[in-house]
Amino acid sequence: MTRRHSGQWALPVPEEPPAEVDVLIPTYGREAELAVTLSGLAAQDGPAFSVTISDQTNGDPPSDHPAVAAMVRVLRAQGRKVRLERHLPRQGMAEQRDFLLGLANAPLVLFLDNDIWLEPGMLARMFAAIRETGCGFIGAAVQGLSYLDDERPQEQEPFELWEGPIQPERVRRTDERFARWTLHNAANLTHIARSLEIPDGEWRLYKVAWVGGCVLYDRAKLVECGGFEFWKDLPAAHAGEDVVAQLRIMERYGGAGILPSGAVHLEAPTTVTDRSTEASEVILDE
């Protein structure tokens, strides 16, 4: 379903087929950033998607903020279903993601952090890539545009395109392939995309260690690989829960990053300040 244009906003929203993608947004605070994130979603056309926001803010929820409320109204006027959830107490990001995944029904789920703006057409490119390849996930690594003039050739050295079908890979933190994580620093992918000269609307897939912030999963494959149920084995203060989920999926179904990445990091301070436990070191065997 394409978004309804403004001339249709006052009309009743017709009954639409089920969403092809459930966009899942965990949030804590960050009213301004969440509003920008929702504005990026409002600029997307197909595929048909819904939005679920799980809020763990103490005090007034971000959805009460005028900018966030306005963007929720825009999405709904466009014909998108938006679900607002309050999910407390906070028990860590893995539990928050597990809660969101449990609310999803669509065959694909996009886990989108609350500080990312998507350029128009980004969701459609990711959707086309995962449908064409049949892999477990497609990630659009977030770009910090304050680093556009900061070229880092050494960090770009692990870059490798997928040639042919995406294959399963077993990657762990001790593996040399985990060094691919440097590709996602600063604006490295923006510089790599420039060198590839990818035509507008097209895309290329490359090999990753993992992707943070904006990842489109095949929901059935994610659930089959355990989803985020491992939150029960972690303290609330942890990081790297997305690393665990993606490494498990890569081992069975493969996964890839997509270029160009139109996922822009708003470069706000992190709200996950206690990272004393790295989830992959607890959950995964080497």
Tens-place pLDDT, residues 204-241: 999 999 999 999 999 999 999 999 999 999 999 999 99
Tens-place pLDDT, residues 159-205: 999 999 999 999 999 999 999 999 999 999 999 999 999 999 899 99
How far apart CA 83 and CA 246 sit, in angstroms, is 26
Can you list the positions of beta strands (E) in the chain? 21-27, 49-55, 82-86, 108-112, 116-118, 137-139, 204-206, 214-218, 255-259, 263-265
Confidence at residue 27, expressed as pLDDT on a 0 to 100 scale: 95
Cβ neighbour number for residue 258 with a 10 Å cutoff? 26
Can you list the positions of beta strands (E) in 113-243? 116-118, 137-139, 204-206, 214-218
> Above pLDDT 90, what percent of the chain?
88
Tell me which of 244 and 285 has the higher pLDDT.
244
Confidence at residue 1, expressed as pLDDT on a 0 to 100 scale: 60
- Round the average pLDDT of the chain to a whole number and report it: 95
Q: How far is CA 7 from the centre of its chain?
A: 31
pLDDT at 286 over 70: no
Give the DSSP H/E element, type plus range, for residue 72: helix 66-77
Residue 191 to residues 87, 124, 224, 237, Cα–Cα distance (Å)? 39, 22, 36, 34
Decide the pairing of beta strands 214-218 and 137-139. antiparallel
How far apart CA 38 and CA 117 sit, in angstroms, is 8
Tens-place pLDDT, residues 40-89: 999 999 899 999 999 999 888 888 999 999 999 999 999 999 999 999 99
pLDDT band at 279 (very low <50, low <70, confident <90, very high): very high
User: HSE on the CB side for 197, CA within 13 Å?
Assistant: 0
For residue 256, list its beta bridge partners: 138
Summarize the confidence of residues 90-102 as an average pLDDT. Answer: 96
Q: Whole-model pTM?
A: 0.96
How far apart CA 163 and CA 241 sit, in angstroms, is 29
Contacts of 73 (CB under 8 A, 6+ apart): none
How far apart CA 240 and CA 49 sit, in angstroms, is 26
Note whether 85 and 101 are within 8 A (CB).
no
Summarize the confidence of residues 22-39 as an average pLDDT. Answer: 96
